[in-house]
Each structure stands twice: as C-alpha cells, then as structure tokens.
Amino acid sequence: MGRKPDAAAKSYYSGGGGGGASSPRAARKAPRSPVFLGTALFVLGLVSLFTGHVVTDADWARIRSRWRSKQHRNYEPIDIWESKYSSMYYGCSGRSADFRSAVPENSSTGYLLIATSGGLNQQRIGITDAVVVAWILNATLVVPELDHHSFWKDDSDFSDIFDVEWFISYLSKDVTIVKRIPYEVMLSMDKLPWTMRAPRKSMPEFYMDEVLPILMRRRALQLTKFDYRLTSDLDEDLQKLRCRVNFHALKFTSSIHAMGHKLVQKLRLMNTRYVAIHLRFEPDMLAFSGCYYGGGEKERKELGEIRKRWDTLPELSAEDERSRGKCPLTPHEVGLMLRALGFGNDTLLFVASGEIYGGDETLQPLRKLFPNFYTKEKLAGDDLNPFLPFSSRLAAIDFVVCDESDVFVTNNNGNMAKVLAGRRRYMGHKRTIRPNAKKLNVLFQTRNQLGWDTFSRKVQKIQRGLMGEPDDIRPRQDDFHEFPSSCICLRKPGNISVTT
C-alpha cells in the first residue's frame, strides 16, 4: 500500500526511516479456506431444501466474492487509488414492474409543500425523502423550498442550484411534481396550507396516519424543517426511488456543472489523478463538537463563546469526545494519515472547505506534506466571483470536484461526506477513505514515540475496511444515504473482471 516517505513526512518523527510499506502479514498470501467454502455450500443447500429457493449463480458468486474480498481486506496490500473488486458491482435503481406509477395531479390526495433545512447536502437529503413521502401519500409534490434562514444565509432557490426541469421530468413516472400550486386552486381553498413538522426518522405509517388525513382535508400541507424526517429503513422499491432522486434527478444547473468541470479539467492537466479532501474545520463546527484542538486558553474561550449560540447543547468533556472518535481530524492529522497510507508529497490535492479555524497557520502542516495544494478559489480566480455571495452554490462546485476525484477523503462524517460516499459507491465504488477517528486518535497521541515505518503500518492496519471497498465495515446504525445497498447489484459471474 505504501511508498517511501520524503523528508517532510519523516520530519515529524524521530528515528523514522524506510517507507510506508504494508506489514509482513499483509504481504503474505491469503490462505484458502475450503472449510468456509464447504460450509457455505452446505448452508445454500439447506436454503434450497427448506425454502424451495433455487440457489443461483449470483447467490454463489456473492458468497465467493464476499469471501475473496474479506481475504483481500485482511491480507493483501491495498491499491490506494482504486479497488480491484469494484467492477463486480454496479448501481441499480430501476423501477420494479409492480411499482405504482405517479398519480395525476387532478387525482392526487393534495399538494405537498416541503421547506428544507440546513446546508446544501442536508437539504439534498430532505429533497430526496420528500419525493418518497409524496409517493407514499399519493400527493402532488411542489418543488421544495430551500432554506434561506439558517446559519448559511443563502437566498438561492431550487432552480438556482438544481436543474428543475430535469428534476420534474426524470421523476414524472414516479411522482407528479409542479413548480407551484395553481392559482385557481389557491383561490378555491378556504384556508392557507396547513403547516406541521414530522418527527425525525418517521416511519411511512406516520405519514399515512397523521399527515394524509390533514392533507386530504386541507388540499395542501407544508412539512417544515424537512431533514432526516423519514426513516432510513424502507422497503427496496422505496430505497430505489431514493436512489433515482439522489443520483439521477438532482442534477446541478449548467452554470454550476460547467464551473465544477472547468476546475476538474485544470486539475487533470496538472496530473492524471487527484485526491479531494472535504475538510470540515470551521469555527462553528468545532465549537459544536465540544472538542479541543490544542490552541490553549484562546481556543477554549473563542469556541466556548460560539458554543453559547446553542441553548440545548449539553456539557461535554473534550477528552471523552476525542476518545469516542467524535472529534474531526485536524488538517495536519489528515495529511499524516494520507502520507502513512502511501500518498507521496507529489500527490495533487484539492481541498474543499469553508472558513478554517486558525486560517493559513492551521493549514500549513498539510501544505508542507502536500505542496500541490489547491482550492476552488485558487483554481478559479475571478471566474468564481458570480458564485461568491451564495454558500450553497459554492458547496455545489466543491461537490462536483470531489465527486470527480480519484480518491475522496473526509475528516468528519457530515452530510456532504455521507452523500458523496453513497454516490461514489453507487457509481462504481470509487476510492473513498473514511478515517477511523477513534483508533487514529490513540495512535496520534503516541506518534512522536514511533518511527515512520511503525506509524505507517499501524495507520494502514487501522484503515482496513474503511477505504471504500465493496465490503467496507459498516456502522451499527448505518445511514442509507451513505450505504445505498438496495441500489448496488452484483454482476453476473461471466461479466466480472477483477483488476490484478
């Protein structure tokens, strides 16, 4: 997995030498396990006997591929740029034959209005779930209203960020969508649309039992603060609808798309591949986390003042939060992790971020490790000026460049990280690195006592299963937007090609 570190990486260590090569255990050939394979065959045979389900080539291929992939994860060196097993899978979100078609506007149960909440990607999740809720209710969906009042203070409308015509057209077989409630309908209504807020992660039954009766009585209803208001656990057809919305219907406007791809082309002219980092290290985000980053009393005072914005936040122990893996990695720690994994100092780095707490001083260690360091501001220059007043449009440009990267890395598990991780899995398991913050934190605390070779091997071991492989380790309570498993299918054995 590794390569020899240069002086910049080694300078953080005493006694460091050699390279970030894989451990001797990783270099050994993975032993075959006939016992495992035989047991798998026996289990599949029992399934056929007692359920009548005929074991297909796909079932057997799934067992073999999972076994091979686990051996790969535990023993083989990892290609840091791409997974050699990604070609085994593909995104699949087509409608099933018995999935109900869109209900015409004049036959629907009423008009569903949605007010989203948060930043761009939090709103994206809300929009995705809004389409599913409209389908559940047999409602006509009005193009969702974006959040103009949150911390980001962006007055962009849906059509300023997403291609609204494409959105309506692409989903026309699933849900009827209109830009606004027709004027004559508004005139005929006795009262204004009813407004309510659904509980977080509500089940479909909540919408049928609590929302539908009001919608049918009032003819129009608005759901406010619509973010994570639908459970992550839905049946397969509705999960596939989520994927059709998120990965196909939500297409950025031509101006955003053009700017994002212009930056990608500039990066590709400098190098054939690049790493994108979504770096969340804004003052408000750090204050919200309750973590401490080594800035002394000045940091504690500044972040403490910002934290007072939220009245309901509990008192947290910074040390406990870090030991639980709840603190985002610092820019320096992200750089050390990447160098330990094997990315050299000639690697082209694109950093997507907002305001970094501490500014250039905080970024300096990362720049030292990766001198080829670029942001959208540096790449675009004055071409970015039309987008500067709009935080969501800037975030959309970052999204495009990160999505097109060969490797995507995040220092947190926020909404953009989740949405992009899910999209990259759906689009072919493009390399996506999710730091194991809990274990890395322990390692970073002792890094000055370790040589570079030892540190590198430990980082590589910690990160196995979190590198964007098809069988990556999943959290106990995973999020469908990050792990869209219902929309990822295994190719037939004859169509699989494994890179060697």
Asked if domains 105-248 and 254-281+328-490 share a fold, the reply is yes
User: What's the mean per-residue pLDDT of the chain?
Assistant: 86
Single-letter code of the amino acid located at 172: S
Fold of 254-281+328-490: Rossmann fold (3.40.50)
Q: Where are the domains of the chain?
A: 105-248, 254-281+328-490
Q: pLDDT at position 72, please?
A: 47
Q: How far apart are CA 308 and CA 399, in angstroms?
A: 30
Under 8 Å between Cβ of 23 and 457: yes
| Maximum average pLDDT range among 11-15, 69-73, 192-196, 253-257 | 253-257
Query: pLDDT by residue (tens digit) across 203-226?
Result: 999 999 999 999 999 999 999 999
* pLDDT digit string, tens, across residues 460-472: 999 999 999 998 8
Q: Which structure tokens are listed for 333?
A: 């720690």
Please state the rounded mean pLDDT for residues 116-122: 94
CA atoms within 13 A on the CB side of 167: 25
Q: Tell me which fold the domain 105-248 belongs to.
A: Rossmann fold (3.40.50)
- 313-329, pLDDT tens digit by residue? 888 888 888 888 889 99
- The closest of 247, 216, 193 to 107, measured between CA atoms, is 216
Element (H, E) at 98: none
Q: Residue 343 and residue 4: Cα distance in Å, rounded? A: 9
d(CA 240, CA 489) in angstroms, rounded, equals 12
